[in-house]
Amino acid sequence: MQRKLLRVLACPGCHGELSCRADAIGAGDDIEAGALECAPCRRTFPIERGIPRFVAAENYASSFGYQWTLFKAEQIDGLNGTGISADRFYSETGWTREWLSGKWILDVGCGAGRFLDVVSRNACDVVGLDLSAAVDAARATLARRANVHLVQASIYELPFRSGVFDGCYCIGVIQHTPDPARSLESLPRVLKPRGRVAVTIYERKPWTMLNAKYLVRPLTRRLPARVLSGVLRALMPVVFPLTELVFRLPYIGRAAMFAIPIANYVHERRLTLGQRYRWAIMDTFDMLAPEFDQPQRERDAREALVRGGVGEIARLPVAGLNLVGAKQ
């Protein structure tokens, strides 16, 4: 943990100022172990392996910790040789490299650091927050980026001072939280006036819950992560070639993608066949393992952002429910 992170950190409960005790110092005076202490409410939060920890290790996002530890490199552009993550980030936020320069940015639900890698290539500071142990996977990949900071905490108790971030994005996370509306409402507090927010959420339409993944999830989400991962690895040599054929068929292919809960991106030409095979295991697990998967209606998401203090909300013309706005 770099000491300058203290500029934005606060107690997640009372939002009081935190003091820092360093027990072990790493390279560049970074804090590898120690504690953060809140004088007003007398709570103490450990710093372990260079990351402030504001939540217990086991929680509803544990499957994501397992997933991103196992697949920590797959979606990192610099490691997979593509620009898939960069294209997605800039299209789903509407932000530019020029705007990011000099800013403090918050990534809520950073996972293994897919978008942290993209944002940190700009002259800005970016804080990645995740509820799960995925933050350790992100550190393993991005430890050498001096402008990347990591925090393990809950979206419901953001451990930051009010009004400290220029921008906050949350891509593909909201539907996986217990209370999506409350999750959206929690984001604007940490933004500066006119600070930007961008969210991508699974959208709920009349037919959404008929998707095959929602029919099998009552079983799969109850399986231990290692068991589900093993099942998928055993099935993939059979189902991957099948979907490789069926998903490409005109008209039938789109219906098959809805009816077969396998994430084979047959039309993504930037990935090799081997990469798509790994992504199929990774994203099929991502579909079937999370404890929560609650697609949201646009109206409900907009109303939650407004309650949190966001105005000028617009929907971007890309796949999924992508809303952007600014704190009033």
Token pair 């095959």 is found at 212
Cα separation, 271 vs 83, whole angstroms: 10
Q: Pairing relation of β-strands 44-48 and 51-52?
A: antiparallel
Residues of the chain with CATH 3.40.50.150: 51-203+295-327
Cα separation, 62 vs 134, whole angstroms: 9
Q: What angle do CA 163, 168, 171 make, to 5 degrees?
A: 155
- From the options 3.40.50.410, 3.40.50.2300, 3.30.365.10, 3.40.50.150, give the CATH code of 51-203+295-327: 3.40.50.150
Cα separation, 106 vs 327, whole angstroms: 14
Task: Encode the chain (328 residues) as per-residue pLDDT tens digits.
Answer: 999 999 999 999 999 999 999 999 988 889 999 999 998 999 999 999 999 999 987 778 888 999 999 999 999 999 999 999 999 999 999 999 999 999 999 999 999 999 999 999 999 999 999 999 999 999 999 988 999 999 999 999 999 999 999 999 999 999 999 999 999 999 999 999 999 999 999 999 999 999 999 999 999 999 999 999 999 999 999 999 999 999 999 999 999 999 999 999 999 999 999 999 999 999 999 999 999 999 999 999 999 999 999 999 999 999 899 999 999 9
